[in-house]
Structure 1
């Protein structure tokens, strides 16, 4: 199993719009083969932080989604990112 976890930093004034656009990515990910969980959420404490969590059945299924998934999230809106992948033995 692959876990992707961490956070993004975005302009606080643009966070709501960023998350609205991210909802489409989440819908597509959740419908993808091998996606066990996927969400981006507003941090309740820090107004510029977006929390990231994904859980995939394998590196292959994650790679397949990344290769065919949407590119709608604006990288220009992301000020910084600390997101890591973990290979977890079940």
Structure 2
């Protein structure tokens, strides 16, 4: 299993416009083969931050979606990003 998680940063005044611009990306990702979850959401404490969480069955599924030529979002530019890919070897109940 692959998890992509982290945060995107942009001007607070651009956050809602960014999220609206990437709405279709989330919808398409959730319909993609191998996508277990996909969300970009506003952080409740930091108005400049968007939380990113994706969960994929495999690298192949992630790469297939990312290279599918889907919509190019019309979104304001990011100031920075701190997003990482995690390879999960096992899963258990909390």
Normalising by structure 1, report the TM-score: 0.93
CA distance in 2, matches of 1:58, 1:85: 12
Q: How big is the shift at 1:7?
A: 0.2
**SS in structure 2 of the partner of residue 78 of structure 1:** coil
SS in 2 for 1:16: helix
Question: Distance between the aligned counterparts of 1:52 and 1:73, measured in 2?
Answer: 18
Q: Distance in 1 between matches of 2:88 and 2:18?
A: 29
Kindly report the root-mean-square deviation, in angstroms, between the aligned alpha carbons of the 2 structures: 1.2
Structure 1: stretches of 5+ with no match in the other structure: none
Name stretches of at least 5 consecutive residues in structure 2 with no aligned partner: none
Query: 1:27 aligned to 2:27?
Result: yes
Between the aligned partners of 1:8 and 1:19, the Cα distance in structure 2 is 11
Q: Greater share of strand residues, 1 or 2?
A: 1
Q: Describe the SS at the equivalent of 1:3.
A: strand
Cα gap change, 1:58/1:73 in structure 2, threshold over 3 Å: closer, same or farther? farther
Q: CA deviation at 1:70?
A: 3.0
4+ long deviations beyond 3 Å:
none
**Corresponding residue number in structure 2 for 1:86:** 86
TM-score normalised over the length of structure 2? 0.89
What secondary structure, in the 3-state scheme, does the structure 2 residue paired with 1:40 have? strand
